[in-house]
Structure formats: C-alpha cells, structure tokens
Amino acid sequence: MALAIAGQLEAQVDLAAPETEDQTETTPSPELPPGGPVQIRPDEGSPLAGAEINAPFNIGRRLQISASINGGYDDNVLLTPNGSPSWFANPNATLSYQFGSARLAMDLLTSVGINYYFDHPGGLNYDPIVFLDFSLAYRVTARLTLDFSTSSFYGAQPDFSTAFSSTRRLGNYIRSENRLSARYKLSPRLTSVTSFLLSALEYESSAASGSDRLEPAFSQQLQYLWQPTTRVSGGYRISVDEGNGGGGESTTQSLVAGLEQSFSPRLQAGLNSGVQFRSGNNGGQTSPYVQTSLRYELAPIGGYELAAQGGYGLGGLGRTLGRQSANTTYIVWTNSYSIEESDVQTSAGRETFRTNLLLNYAITARISASLGLSYLHGDNGTSNQISSRALGGSSTETAFNITPSVRYAITQRCAVNVGYNYTDVSRGSGALALDQFQTVGSYTRNRYFAGISYSF
C-alpha cells in the first residue's frame, strides 16, 4: 500500500529541478539521531532502535531482498539471575526499498524471522522478530517539506538502545515510534520545524501491563544556518506519558538549544542542551538535558563514493549515503542525559545517562568488522514515601550490552558472519525482590552465534 501511494504521489508532481538553496530542507531534526547508517543486529537480524533511515532525493528506485540464518548458544534466554541456557537458530528474510525523485524520497526496511530455541526453559520454543522502518519526505513547495517516519517492532528480547523498552524480559511486546513534521523555510537561512510524535509500548501479558506506555509529544523548533557548515537551533517540546506504572501519568516539558557542525562531507557533530521539567501525581522533577552526536562515514572499499548533496555543508548530510553496505567504514556515537520513565513500577522519572555506539570497519573489500554498544545508568526516584521505604531509598540501574562481529563476503551476494553478544544488567541495593517474572534482580547473558546470508 505504501508503494502504491508513493507511486500515485510521484505521478501527480512536476519533477522540476531541485532548488539550489535547499540546504536546510533535507537535514533531519536534531531531536532524533541524525539519519544515516542502519546497523542490523548480526545475531538476530533486527535493527537497532533510533537508527533512522533516510533515502536521498534523486536516486531512482532500489530494491533488495535478502535472507539469512544464524545459529548459536545463549546461556540466559529468559534473562534471569540464575540463567536459562539453550541452543538456538534464527532464520529471517529482509526487504529493502528506496525511492527518490526531485520531490519525493522514500525508504522502507522490513523483516520477519524467529529465534527458535531447542531447549527453551519457559516452554515456548520460539520468539518472533518482526519490524518495519519506513520514512517518507515530500517537497510540497520550494519552502515546505513534509516528513513522516515510523519504526515498529514485535518481539520478546529487550532493546537496550532505546528508552522505549524494558531492560528485562517481560514476554512479547509491540513498540512503535512515529513522527510527522513540517519544515517551512522562513528565509534562506531560517527554518521552522513543527513535529508531532507518538510512541507506544504494549506487552501481551496482562502481568506486564504496568510497563505499557503511550506517549504523545509536540515540539516546535527554529533552525538558523549561521554558516554553510554551522547551524544553531532552539526549541520547545512537551510530552505526556500515559503509562500504567506506579508513577502514573506525567508531563515533561523541555527547553533545548542546539548546535550542529559539519567538519567535512563525511564528519558531522551535534550538541543539544537545555532543561527538563517533569510533573505528575507524585510531584515535580527538574533535570538538565544534554544530547551529543558524532557521525563519520567513509566511502565503501572497492565501491563508489556519493558526493554530499549541497556540497561541504549541512544540506543533505541526513540523506547522503542512505543505507550503508557492509564494506563501508562508519561510526555513529550518541550520548544523552535526560529524564526517562523507570522500569521499576513504583518509581517516578529516572534521570538517565545513555550512550549508543555503532561502528563498522571495512578491513578489506571482503572482510569487515562491526561493533554495537549500548550503555545506560539511571537513578530511580520513588513515587511516594511508602514505596521509598519499600525500596530502601532510591535505586540505581546499569545496563551494558555489546556485540562485536566479523563478516566475510564469499561472493558479492553471499557472506558469512560470526560474533558474540554480552549483556550485563545491574540493580542497586534499592531494587525490589524478584517479581513473578523472576527478572527484577541483576543478570548477565552470553550469546555466541554464526551464520550465512544471501542477497537477491
């Protein structure tokens, strides 16, 4: 349906040449990590959350279908303190479609697969893995551009790269993060960005319903192109968390100032800082807000290099290289300190430091090494005096997840990979006793895997 709609839109627009002063229209909003490489987990074939995909304008049509199968050993399938080992197999199929003209750009990435366990401790032999990442940008006029993006996932394993996922295993869940924004160029240098965001998290098990969340948000931002390589911005955002946890419904308002700097067509950095105000049934909370990003991309070894749209500047960096191939060297590093909703249902907002690192290094034209790393440290506040006494004061939580892997291309279409995943989740002395999922306590997991993939 999305492809049909895109085709109808394309048939209705006049494919005029793009405007020469189009630098600000194709740059993604600093609210989210810059668009660019999408790193797929090599052990189960799902993308890391927040890795926004963006197809460049004027690229034509690109369609790719791939299939892969991985196998290995997981020493803690249920993510419990006592461990729950099993051998596993992971078959999956992925479809990728990109389209870009002078007025319309679309990027679609979807996949379906399972994690099948030969000796699942919980009795269920498999976990589903289904995801859909879709983004669409349409130039209504030379001044107005509409952007829509959605990222949805259905599965059981937690995602440590996003705040919209528990660090525990609570059964199958659906996560969806959606954004609709309008970018209007007030002048050649000044751009207004108005966005509406809707995020949802829902677990199938009624026992885990306390972790369900629904968060609509609205933001308004002004961006000023100070220099061809420098942009400053200021904005306001308000979000309402309608979660079912012990903290109840809450409202968070943010005032943020930002700076983006392009050092070259391949190197880009950003800084956003400000203050957050959270209010809810359990009182108010104020916290500083800081977000940094660093992105570096190098042309594929043995491939071709795509020039940045708009030249050496900020225009088009978000949609320059699109989805990277395995023999591309890139690094995307984001850090943030902000108020997030806590995993502990009796807690209020959690002041959290979070860092995500995506790294791919092309050693040769056939061999590449990748690394995915996520780390968070949060301090949980309590929702009332009773829960504070039950917890023994505020509690802390630390989660560390790292996945190094190596890929070898046998042919242009066929490749093999081998890797390792390590997870360590620690909770402080204030954590509650084990709940019915037996997952509140600290745990570690080791996951070894190897597989083969083929692109059609």
Decide which of 337 and 249 is more confident: 337
In tens, the pLDDT along 190-215 reads 999 999 999 999 999 888 777 888 99
pLDDT at 59: 78
> What is residue 13's predicted lDDT score, i.e. its pLDDT?
39
- For the segment(s) 2-455, the CATH number from 2.40.160, 1.20.120, 2.60.40, 1.10.3470 is 2.40.160
Average pLDDT for 89-104:
91
Helical H segments across 169-312, by residue range: none
Are 331 and 303 contacting, i.e. CB atoms less than 8 angstroms apart? Answer: no
* Rounded Cα distance, 107 and 46, in Å: 16
* Rounded-to-integer distance, Cα 317 and Cα 27, Å: 6
Question: Looking at the whole model, is its pTM more than 0.85?
Answer: no
What mean pLDDT, rounded, does the chain reach?
78
CB neighbours (10 Å) of residue 271?
16
DSSP string, 23-37: TTTTSPPTTSPPS--
pLDDT at 132 over 60: yes
Question: What six digits make up the tokens of 55?
Answer: 């197809």
Of the candidates 254, 217, 253, 243, the one whose C-alpha atom is nearest the C-alpha of residue 347 is 243
Dump pLDDT digits (tens) for 311-340.
333 333 233 333 556 678 889 999 999 988
Note the Cα 382 to chain centre separation in Å: 28
Per cent of the chain over pLDDT 90 is 47
Per-residue pLDDT tens over the stretch 416-434? 999 999 999 987 654 444 4
For the purposes of burial, counting CB atoms within 10 Å of the CB of 109, is it exposed (0-12), middle (13-18) or buried (19 or more)?
buried
pLDDT, one tens digit per residue, over 361-403 is 999 989 999 999 999 998 865 443 333 333 344 578 899 999 9
What are the contacts of 436-440 at 24+ separation with CB within 8 A? 436/207, 437/168, 437/169, 437/170, 437/207, 437/208, 438/78, 438/80, 438/81, 438/82, 439/78, 439/79, 439/80, 439/168, 439/169, 439/170, 440/168, 440/344
Stronger pLDDT, 188 or 323, i.e. the higher one: 188
Q: Which residues contact 7 (CB under 8 A, 6 or more apart)?
A: none
Q: What are phi and psi of 62, to 5 degrees?
A: -135, 125
CA distance 275 to 254: 6
Q: Is the pLDDT of residue 135 over 80?
A: yes
Between 60 and 302, residue with greater pLDDT = 60
pLDDT of residue 343: 60
What are the pLDDT digits (tens) for 42-66?
Answer: 666 555 554 444 566 777 888 999 9
